[in-house]
Every structure is written in structure tokens, then in C-alpha cells.
Amino acid sequence: MAGAPVKTSDSTRALPPCPEETRTPEIAPHELEVKLECEPGKLRKLFDVGPLSAAKLHARSQRLVGAYFDTQDDKLDGAGMTLRVRKSGTRRIMTLKWTRPQERLFFRGEVEVSVNGDAPDLERFDPEIATKVLETSDNKPLVCRFETIVRRRVADLSLGDTRVEIAFDEGEIVSADRSIKISECELELKEGDPAALFTLAAQVASAGLWLAPAPKAQRGYLLARGEKPTEVRATEPQFDPGTLVEEVIGVIIENNIRQFLGNWPALLESDLPESIHQMRVALRRLRAALRLFEKAFPGAGFEAFRAEAKRIADVLGGARDHDVFIALVTDGPLMAFASDESFEALLSASEARRLHAYEIARQVVRAPETSRFVLELQAFVASRGWRNKLGTEDLTRLGKPAHGFAADALQGLYRRARRLGKDIMGIDPEERHRLRICLKNLRYAADFFGSLFEEPRDVKKFTKTLSALQDSLGAHNDAVVALKTVRDVEQEAGGAAHRAAGIVLGWYGRESSNPEMLLKDDWRAFKNALCFWR
């Protein structure tokens, strides 16, 4: 029990590394698992899907009740830990799972032991593990925060040398008087090739399932706290100076997939504008990375994934455009014409279009094609699929330190930006757009590769200068979006919104044709900035 003296147990495995430690995930026990969701009732048909049919005769059914324990203020969850006691008949299994910064996507640390009762018995863990749990909880009492109650059908499937456990869970997550339904397919790699697991999951997704990026524990904690999912922002990958090019490629791709998936729950459960924005940021960053890699290693297979990422981002763009438009009108002309009733008609029509665009965005997230895109890209990373079409010289370059590769990529983008913006105040809208995209790609590359260089302060100064220039160009782009969107909205709103539409056209037409003089100063600061990669 929590607070009890810690005893040694021979039945446990190694201590999960603390977040501040630098040990690789392979040193500690871990699980690789893909979860997919579907509409209730569809799970029963999945054993008839392609490769899963081989496991149908061996499927077994069981009722599982999992109690998740934490302090009342969720100290363990805050540290990325999950502590569960699961009941199945008379058997009780206590499991500790954890995630760490920079952990590989779909991987989690895991250690489990048998216990005699329904509550955690930390004495059953290795002493170091028990101590870590106690320290993380500040020795506070551990209480049941929520439960999962599911009927599970489970079977093993062999794919050559790869063995996968398939589990179909139907049930609910319960906390006090609140509950949410569960309808999930879990595919866990027991032995063999991770790429085979992702390929199998992509085939299962084709049956009408979508990825479930939020595990049951995450959903349970939100339920217990009465909260909704929030947006997930980009994080910069951290590399040691000697990290090889091939490792950098895999980590950067997974970094952007993580952000893309991380914003699905907020989109599916709410109209949170930032979720759409961050999903599109993730896809832009991913496309920028894939373009860099394809340019360095032509024909390696990156371009097909880049095209699919663009297709998905374009569908999400409609929702984002209306979010931007409503914010621009509310914070701009409406402030000066607050008593003008025509703005109510204009904004009402835009809100209706926004809600429709969000429903389309949810459909694209739930579409099998989107989950297949993620899973096939993940299989590509796991198998290092880019090696298949490369010659000896390129394969050698993959095994070299990434510092030189990163410096060349940054310098190429920097030169292109300088060339595109040579006459910054005189370039036409199309050239301005190309410059803005190039600067975004340069900013993303600085984020991707910054940790490979020795002076973090120089990286930060450069990206700060670059951000100011992006903001100046972004204000012009927002005005262009407003002009495009207001014409579409006015047609739907009719005559009641005519005056407001005219005001918006005049307001942002002036801004789009007369860039701020601040742009000239921001461009000069960019040209004079210290290039940290040189």
C-alpha cells in the first residue's frame, strides 16, 4: 500500500528511467501498441477483416475491470505515469506505465506484477520503482480516480516472425456519475518487426476505423477532472551533437506525426479553434521536413507522403479560414462599427460555414485514408523505407553525423529567402507568398536542427528575428484571407450583411495593398541576423 515499507521483489523488471535521465527506451521494458476506434457494434465484424481472420478461431473472451490510482491532485499523471490494478476473474495485475519526452511514437514504458488485492501494493514492485512512485506522489494517499469496464475478445496473430496480440474492447470509462463509451481495437507487438505491426494496423483501419491517439488513461483523467482535451503544440526535437542523419530523419517525422495526432481529441470532442490550427501546423512542418529529405535523397519515397499530407491539410483549411475571418472581423472593423447590425448577419453566416467546415474536418480525421497515411508513414520510419531506392553513396551519407546535413539544409533555405525577398517592398503578392512559405520552412528547419548546434542562445535569437518577419508578412496574408472569405460569406448571408461586407472589404483591402513599414525594418534585421549554423 502507499506509504508502506518497500520490500525487494524478484518478480519485477527494471526501473523506468526518470524524465531527466538520458537512457534509451530499449534499456527499460516497454510496449508498442496501436489503438483504433470505431462506431459501437462494428468490432464484432473485424475478425472477418483480411489478416485478422486467421486469429478468429483462437479468440477468447474476458471481462476486465481496471481501476486507475493516483493522488487526488493527479501527481502521477502530471509526471507521465499511469498506475492501474486490473481484475479478470480472481486474477489481479498491477501495471505501471510511463511516457517520457522524446519517447518514440506509440511506445510506452511498462512494468506489471501480480497482486493479491484490488488496491496497489507497491511492495510488489522493484524497490527503485516503488520509491520513484512514492516520490512522485509526494507520499500522498493513492485513490481510485476512474475505472474501465470492458468486454474483451483477444487473440494472437502470427505474421511470419512477427507476433501481434489483437484485442477488441467494448465497454466504458467511469468516474463518479460520469461515463464515456469505449469501442476500440488494440494491436500490441509481442515479438518481431514494428513495421509489420503498423502495416497490419493500416489494413485494419481500412475497415472503417480511425486512430485513437488518446489512451484510455488519458481519457479517464479528463473525465475525472471534468475537462476537455486541449491543443498540442509543436516541440523541438533534442539531439546529441553526434546524432546520425538517419536517426534525425526518423525522429523529426515522428515528432510531427505526434503533434498531428495529439490534436485529434480536441477536434473530435469540441470546436476548439486551436486544434485545427495546430493540426495544420503539424502537417506544414511535416511537409517541410519531407521536402528537405526528398531534396537531399531524391527518389527515396518521401514525396508521396508529402503529397498526402498536403491533401489532408487542404481539407482542414476551410475550417481554419473561417476561424481566422471571425477573429479578424471581431478584433478589427467590428470594434469601430459595434452598433452596425449588418455585422450580426455577416458573422452568423460565417459561423454556420465554420461549423460545417469543422464537421468536414472531423470526417477527414475519422476517414480510413487519414489513419492509413499515419500508419504507413510510421511503418516507413520503422523500416527505414527510404533506404530501399538509395545507392551506396547516399546510404553512406545516412550514417554520417547530421550536423553538416543540417547546416547545408539551413543555408539553402536562407539563400532562397534572401533571393525571394531582395526587393521586399516591391514584390507582387505571388512572390510575397513564396517568400512567406520559404521563411516558414526556414523556421521549421531551425526548430528541427537547432539542438545539433553548440549555442542555443544564437538559435533562439535567429528564430526570434525570423518570427518577427513572419508576423509582418502574416498580417498581410490574414488580410488576403479576409478579402477572399468575406465574398463567399456575403453571398450566403444576402443583403442583410452587405454593408458589413463592404466595410470589411475596405478595411482589409487597404491593409493588403499597403504593407506596414515595419516590414522593411524586420527584413533588415533578418538580413543582419547571425546565422547560427555557420
- Residue 172 to residues 88, 91, 175, 181, 219: CA-CA distances in angstroms? 16, 21, 10, 4, 11
DSSP character for 103? P
Do 377 and 249 contact (CB within 8 A), yes or no? no
pLDDT (0 to 100) of residue 404: 97
DSSP character for 141? P
Query: CA 381, CA 376: separation in Å to the nearest integer?
Result: 9
Do 333 and 504 contact (CB within 8 A), yes or no? yes
Query: CA 90, CA 114: separation in Å to the nearest integer?
Result: 11
Do 463 and 446 contact (CB within 8 A), yes or no? yes
- Spell out where 222-273 has E strands: none
pLDDT (0 to 100) of residue 211: 97
pLDDT digit string (tens) for the chain, length 534 residues: 333 333 333 333 333 333 333 333 333 468 999 999 998 888 878 888 878 888 887 889 999 999 999 999 999 999 999 999 999 999 999 999 998 777 788 999 999 999 999 999 999 999 999 999 999 999 999 999 999 999 999 999 999 999 999 999 999 999 999 999 999 999 999 999 999 999 999 999 999 999 998 999 999 999 999 999 999 999 999 999 899 999 999 999 999 999 999 999 999 988 789 999 999 999 999 999 999 999 999 999 999 999 999 999 999 999 999 999 999 999 999 999 999 999 999 999 999 999 999 999 999 999 999 999 999 999 999 999 999 999 999 999 999 999 999 999 999 999 999 999 998 888 887 898 899 999 999 999 999 999 999 999 999 999 999 999 998 888 778 888 888 899 889 988 888 999 999 999 998 876 655 555 678 899 999 999 999 999
Which H, E and C letters describe 32-52, residue by residue?
Answer: EEEEEECCCCCHHHHHHCHHH
Concatenate the DSSP letters of all residues of 267-320 into one string. HHH---HHHHHHHHHHHHHHHHHHHHHHHHSTTSSHHHHHHHHHHHHHHHHHHH
Helix then strand then coil, in percent of the chain rounded to 5, is 55, 15, 25
pLDDT (0 to 100) of residue 12: 33
Query: CA 342, CA 349: separation in Å to the nearest integer?
Result: 11
For residue 68, which of 13, 143, 139, 152 has the smallest C-alpha distance? 143
**Could you tell me whether strands 91-98 and 210-211 are parallel, antiparallel, or unpaired per DSSP bridges?**
unpaired
Residues 6+ apart with CB under 8 A from 372: 202, 205, 206
Q: Can you read off the three cell numbers belonging to residue 2?
A: 502507499
For residue 221, which of 265, 257, 254 has the smallest C-alpha distance? 265
- Beta-bridged to residue 95, according to DSSP, are 84, 112
pLDDT (0 to 100) of residue 457: 96
pLDDT (0 to 100) of residue 39: 87
CA angle (50 as vertex; 46, 55 as ends), nearest 5: 65
Neighbours of 228 (CB within 10 A): 11
